[in-house]
Amino acid sequence: MTFEERFKPFGFSALEMQHFLEKNNAFIAGGFALAAYLGVDAFKGSDIDIYLPEIITDEQLILKGYSVVHYNKYPMTESIRNVVTYTRGYEKIQLVVVKNKNPYDILNEFDIDICKVMITSSLSIVSHCLPYVKRMRIVGVEYPDGLYPRTVKYISRGFTLVDNNDNEIVDTLKHVNEILKNHRR
């Protein structure tokens, strides 16, 4: 699947997205970037998470026809200032405004290793922690309340949760609760 085909359902061309990313010093991460890395169709219900170093004005957006449905002005991690969610029909795009850090530092804060993949302004797919195909590890606690749902989401997409020794985790809830309990200490 080409980038042109990946972006088309969201209403813009690969060239428009490339220009937007370049102009705003932004990158794409999350499930959309992971699907591109794996060379598979976008995951059902997947959105596009665009990470930007500053808030941009509506005139700068390429999101014509999208509506703001959620604005979270409270930081979710040390790097994230706020998240604005836009929708158009079933398509969803999240603009994640980050503090002044380089993209690798931001990816390093992700809680699931398979998500440490980004699409750059040159539409290159980059990862400094190359995901194991269809295997994932919880490597941190980005957003404690969202860790279990995010883990289950990727399991439903065909990934297997493994521990640091590459052993499959059968009881996902127990494993996540143990991580959260250790995180709170």
Say what the pLDDT of residue 133 is: 60
Tokens of 129: 């922690």
Say what the pLDDT of residue 23 is: 86
**CATH architecture type of domain 3-184:** 2-Layer Sandwich (3.30)
Helix axes 172-184, 144-156, angle to 10 degrees: 160
Annotated domain spans of the chain = 3-184
Q: How far apart are CA 102 and CA 24, in angstroms?
A: 14
pLDDT tens for the 185 residues of the chain, in order: 788 888 888 888 899 889 889 888 899 998 888 888 888 877 777 889 999 887 665 555 667 778 877 777 655 667 777 888 888 888 889 888 888 778 888 887 887 888 888 998 888 888 766 655 667 777 766 666 777 787 888 888 888 888 777 788 878 778 877 877 776 65
Say what the pLDDT of residue 106 is: 84
Q: How far apart are CA 103 and CA 97, in angstroms?
A: 12
